[in-house]
């Protein structure tokens, strides 16, 4: 599949480029505020907790560890490319550093999903060679201990 409208690709700009560059290398980045000490996600230039300015908020590497907060098994989604992917597990996870993140849980049978289960980050390329998502890697989560990474 190539061409056509895609609803899963991020808008990458100068501010978010470090995040996507790190993701392509298999690293999840967070933003942490030096003023109040809290980390946040998705990335914002200003701290969403104390509104400290961008000069007080910096990128840092996340551990990649998280726990499952909630999820929904999606059986139908008419927006491309999701329709070709169903069923999939749309999830909200709590990162070890504190932020809550919308993502997808992969490589886990639906029946094995549990609130609070340990997860770790993995990355999936959004498109194959020649497609719009080539070179864009999105964070997904797998059960801790899967794959022996
Ligand atoms: Zn702050």
Q: Same structural domain for residues 134 and 68?
A: yes
What's the gap in Å between 113 CA and the centre of ligand 1?
33
Average pLDDT, the chain: 93
Is the domain of 44 the same as that of 76?
A: no
Cα separation, 20 vs 109, in Å, equals 28
Nearest to 54 by CA among 28, 76, 73, 35: 35
What is the distance between the alpha carbons of residues 98 and 70, in angstroms, rounded to a whole number? Answer: 15
Statement to judge: residues 45 and 96 lie in one domain: no
Q: Domain check: are 39 and 87 in the same one? A: no
Mean pLDDT of 27-40: 98
Residues 76 and 145 in one domain: yes
Start-to-end Cα distance in the chain: 30
- Quick one: 81 and 32 in the same domain? no
In angstroms, the CA 148 to CA 145 distance is 6
Eight-class DSSP state of 56:
G
Between the CA of 101 and the centroid of ligand 1 the distance, in Å, is 18
pLDDT bin (cut points 50, 70, 90) of residue 3 is low
**Helix, strand, or coil here: 138?**
strand
- Distance between Cα 56 and ligand 1 center (Å): 8
Per the structure, how many domains does the chain have?
A: 2
Residue 29 lies in a domain: yes
Greatest alpha-carbon span in the chain: 47
Distance (Å) from CA 50 to ligand 1 centroid: 4
Confidence (pLDDT) at 127: 86
pLDDT over 60 (residue 92): yes
Whether 70 is covered by a domain: the verdict is yes
- Whole-number Å distance, alpha carbon 41 to ligand 1 midpoint, is 13
Transcribe 110-129 into DSSP letters: GGG--TT-EEEEEEEESS-T
116 CA from centroid of ligand 1 (Å): 27
Domain extent, residue 114, equals 63-149
| 138 and 69 belong to one structural domain | yes
User: Which CATH number do you get for residue 118?
Assistant: 2.40.50
Residue 106, in any domain of the structure: yes
How many angstroms does the Cα of residue 58 sit away from the middle of ligand 1? Answer: 11
pLDDT band for 67, please (50, 70, 90 cuts).
Answer: very high
Interval between CA 13 and ligand 1 midpoint (Å): 23
pLDDT of residue 149: 47
Q: Are residues 72 and 139 in the same domain?
A: yes
Stated as kind and residue range, the H or E segment containing 104 is strand 100-105
> Quick one: 142 and 73 in the same domain?
yes
- The whole-number pLDDT of residue 6 equals 86
Q: How far apart are CA 99 and CA 79, in angstroms?
A: 27
CATH number of the domain bearing residue 55:
2.20.28
Question: Does residue 146 have a pLDDT over 90?
Answer: no
**pLDDT at residue 100, rounded to an integer:** 97
Averaged over 123-148, what is the pLDDT? 88
In a domain, 136, yes or no: yes
């Amino acid at each position: 599949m190539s061409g056509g409208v895609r609803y899963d690709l991020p808008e990458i700009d100068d501010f978010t480029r470090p995040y996507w560059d790190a993701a392509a290398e298999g690293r999840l980045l967070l933003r942490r505020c030096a003023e109040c000490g809290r980390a946040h996600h998705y990335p914002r230039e200003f701290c969403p907790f104390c509104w400290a300015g961008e000069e007080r908020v910096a990128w840092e590497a996340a551990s990649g560890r998280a726990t499952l907060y909630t999820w929904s098994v999606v059986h139908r989604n008419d927006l491309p490319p999701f329709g070709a992917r169903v069923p999939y597990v749309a999830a909200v996870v709590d990162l070890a550093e504190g932020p809550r993140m919308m993502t997808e849980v992969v490589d886990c049978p639906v029946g094995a999903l549990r609130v609070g289960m340990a997860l770790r980050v993995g990355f999936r390329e959004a498109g194959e060679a020649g497609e719009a998502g080539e070179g864009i890697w999105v964070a997904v989560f797998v059960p801790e201990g899967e794959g022996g990474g």
